[in-house]
Amino acid sequence: MSQIIETSVDSEIGELEGVILHTPGSEVENMTPGNAERALYSDILNLSVADEEYQQHAGVLNKVTKTFQVKDLLESCLNNNSVKNNLVTDICTSENVLFLKDKLLDLPSAELAQQIIEGVPLENNTLSAFLSDERYALRPLHNFFFTRDASITVHDKVLIGKMANKVRERESLVMETIFNNAPLIKSSTINPTESSGDQNLISIEGGDVQIAREDILVIGTGERTTTQGIDFIAKSIQQRHKGKHYIVVQQLPSKPESFIHLDMVFTFLDKDNCMVYDPVIMQPNRYQTILITIDNEEVQKIEKKDNLLNCLKGLGMDLKPIFCGGRKDLWIQEREQWHSGANFFAIAPGKVMGYARNVYTLEDMNNNGYEIISASDVINNKVDINTYNKCVVTIQGSELARGGGGARCMTMPIRRKTVTW
């Protein structure tokens, strides 16, 4: 029997001990140019190519840590009839498809898990259905392979995402069900929907939330995470943690869409390195960096800082920036940022994953001591990342990057080892 894993994440870079993934399936392919924008895509993906690239991503993680698949975890939860009934009722109520409830409840757990993710085709058994432009009664979850957003492990709890777009709400319902009920995971959840604040104003997505250190959160605010969402997180810290804690808030541009989350312009690489998109993070601009200091279970101070790195330095984290797109050409920086060039995921301190296509970003990393190794070499045992002090494992990203996210977006860590600072 597999060992139960208890959630615990106190940094972005601690050595991995467990992650949740979702391999993209037909829900990615069941998209047209007409509905891509509604599904939050700017393009439609070729599933066969995306799957090949994703297998590199998952293959590396399978080598270095315990991995769980969303569909398997969900199926294990649905074996409990009470959990099954509650989730199906919540989904059908939220998406106004209560006519599907009995049909869904009659499905075996494995098939139900699949339909919750891949969608339920619309039956043309009424005139309204026959004339409808929709193909699905319950739409596919096109974005679910970006498992980072719908739940966030913060210390020993899991913060459930309050998604900015209704098309992604079901992902949060699924992840909350998993963390409260999956037999292989021991955890408890915090849900913003239980807040006394205005639910229409609160949104929180995992791509905006980064754990810098046990006492520091860095959170982006923009199109996907609102200031009201950050206020909810601050209140949760006040209620659950004694001593001094900090939230560093980074405002983000609303355009272009590649600035969707903080991890598209800033990610942690090591104890002393970070990846930055220079125009937003380092250069003078109108996007503020704000420090919230929490002590004695109260917000003690809210103050503006020069920029994100200077703010972290003042808190004892002196990070040397490495530049997305390199340092020579703004156009190159823009191009590589667009293709998730700042979106790295740490396997361990100084050991990260990212797309091979962002060659100028990788060049700057190499100039800063990171060896560049391919995912295929790791998977085929040609190299051992444990022999490297610093490295970046590159996965192919010609298709995956078109979905609007990178290695961090596609990986939801549930347990990391503690970092000695």
Q: List the strands of the sheet with 273-276, edge to edge.
A: 266-268, 273-276, 320-323
**In Å, how far are 117, 150, 272 from 169, measured between CA atoms?**
12, 8, 36
What does DSSP assign to residue 100?
G
Examine residue 149 and state whether it is found in any structural domain, yes or no: yes
Would you say 70 and 117 are in contact if contact means Cβ atoms under 8 Å apart? yes
The CATH number given to whatever domain includes residue 46 is: 3.75.10.10
39/44 Cα distance (integer angstroms): 10
| Paired strand residues for 351 | 348, 391
Domain residues for the domain of 311 are 5-416
For 195-245, how does the pLDDT look when each residue is reduced to its tens digit (9 = 90+)?
777 788 999 999 999 999 999 999 999 999 999 999 999 999 998 878 899
What does DSSP assign to residue 188?
-
The residue type of 110 is A
Examine residue 237 and state whether it is found in any structural domain, yes or no: yes
Examine residue 144 and state whether it is found in any structural domain, yes or no: yes
**In Å, how far are 2, 79, 213, 250, 388 from 68, measured between CA atoms?**
11, 17, 25, 31, 26
Instruction: Tell me what percent of the residues of the chain surpass a pLDDT of 90.
Output: 81
Examine residue 355 and state whether it is found in any structural domain, yes or no: yes
Examine residue 113 and state whether it is found in any structural domain, yes or no: yes
Q: What is the pLDDT of residue 125?
A: 74
3-class DSSP state of 210: strand
242: nearest Cα among 191, 181, 298:
298
The residue type of 94 is S
pLDDT band at 130 (very low <50, low <70, confident <90, very high): low
66: nearest Cα among 30, 100, 16, 112:
16
- Residue 281 CB contacts under 8 Å (≥ 6 apart), including other chains: 250, 265, 266, 307, 308, 309, 321
Q: What is the pLDDT of residue 32?
A: 60
Lowest mean pLDDT across 130-139, 310-319, 327-336, 392-401: 130-139
Examine residue 421 and state whether it is found in any structural domain, yes or no: no
Is the whole model's pTM more than 0.85, yes or no? yes
266: nearest Cα among 204, 318, 340, 330:
340
**Structural domains in the chain (count):** 1
Q: Where are the beta strands (DSSP E) in 72-203?
A: 120-121, 136-138, 151-154, 157-160, 185-186, 189-190
Q: What is the pLDDT of residue 39?
A: 46
Examine residue 399 and state whether it is found in any structural domain, yes or no: yes
Examine residue 39 and state whether it is found in any structural domain, yes or no: yes
Reply yes or no on whether the pLDDT at 37 is more than 80. Answer: no
Dihedral sign (CA 4, 8, 9, 13): negative
